[in-house]
Structure 1
Amino acid sequence: MTGSVPEETVAEAFEEQRGRLVAVAYRMLGSRADAEDAVQEAWLRLARQDAASIDNLAGWLTTVVGRVCIDMLRSRGTRPEAPYEDRLPDLVVTEDDGREPEDDVLLADSVGLALLVVLDTLHPAERLAFVLHDMFAVPFEEIGQIVGRSTDATKMLASRARRKVRGTRRPTSERRQQRAVVDAFLAAARSGDFEGLLRVLDPEVMWRAHTPRGVVVRLGATEVAGRLQHARHAKVTARRALVNGEPGVVVWGAGGRPVAVMACTVAGGRIVEVLSVIDPRLLAAMDVPRRPD
């Protein structure tokens, strides 16, 4: 939005930008709640600003949100946090109809788990340069003003981040293979096929479950397959779904209530890691699709 903003239209103009600002902050911070906090801080700063003095509201807000996010990331670095594996990233769960995630507008605000992990390892300035330029096409000159670097130095920040992120992009053929592996996993779990489960689970698979008691970790295909075999008689419905754009599983119980969400990491034709959520409180906070008829 270009041009000065009259005082009486500030709130309306801000709301027009909110969705984009939350998307920027989410990719910077990896948390929907933190992203909302960052955007709210931008609104508070805007409320204290003479709106008529702002020539480009969209650019001004992007700059403020970017700086707030950098401050939040740096603050995280100065205090102890739970290890990443013990934190539950925001999970966007959608139906998997076989289309590629980039064709699905419902996934516009999601970030794949692999990308989220990589972004979490970047220096705050690298992360901002990559997110703003590669994901939102903000010019390097503007990004440089946010991070206090020259345009060339900002390009280098984005280049370093891009090299680290490149390995998280998966071709269409690999996504098809992932779907096939998850389908085979579901079929074996439904029938209690122990050998079938061993064929699709990596021998050193890690199953990390967020339960009402906390995070429970199980290691090894034999251990995981054994647990799944014992649960095969449960009266549930399980279907493949997209979890942050990657093939996963949703399980519904009686009355269509979701009882589990699983994000599966597939490599080399086998499942190497499963992030599962069975805590009702955490599930209630997710927007899980209704059980198919």
Structure 2
Amino acid sequence: MKNQPATLNFYTAHRRMLVDYAMQITGDRALAEDIVQDAWLALAAQGGDVIVLDPRAYLRRTIRNLAINALRRKVRERKIGGEELDASVLEVAQDAPSPEADVIARTELACVMGVLATLPERQRVAIEMYRFGGHKLREIAEHLGVSIPLVHLLVSEGLAICSERCGLERLSAKNR
């Protein structure tokens, strides 16, 4: 950790958010406090050996891993103690997509944005308002000064072009 005082300031400023994050996973405030402290100690133990560019991401990932380990430890303890385990204890929310899913999504988005740039302006605006802006067809029709059926045609044909050129099956006007 290159700049320890700055990282300590970060930790004290974001401690509550980190504890809340751990609490979402564990469901136990005291355990969440312990996990956040353990995560901070792991970060501080890095010393000058490792440069942590994003302490928030590092702490969140460490907290998530420690919380999962704590839940697994509880499961083992309950099994050894003879208690029956509630399946909800094992369900841990995934806060971020896998690296592979992230790369695929970014690649698909880049392709779609490239295709959108080649479409006529009215069609591009209609698709952007519909898919990215969350506008209704009626609102888009008013904005463009055209009929609702024409907006539907512009959006559906534009999304079909994006799907075809980017090899996406799930991209359609119905899939919002």
TM-score normalised by the chain length of structure 2: 0.48
TM-score normalised by the chain length of structure 1: 0.30
Which structure has the highest strand share of the two?
1
Which structure has the highest helix share of the two?
2
- Give the greater-gyration-radius structure (CA): 2
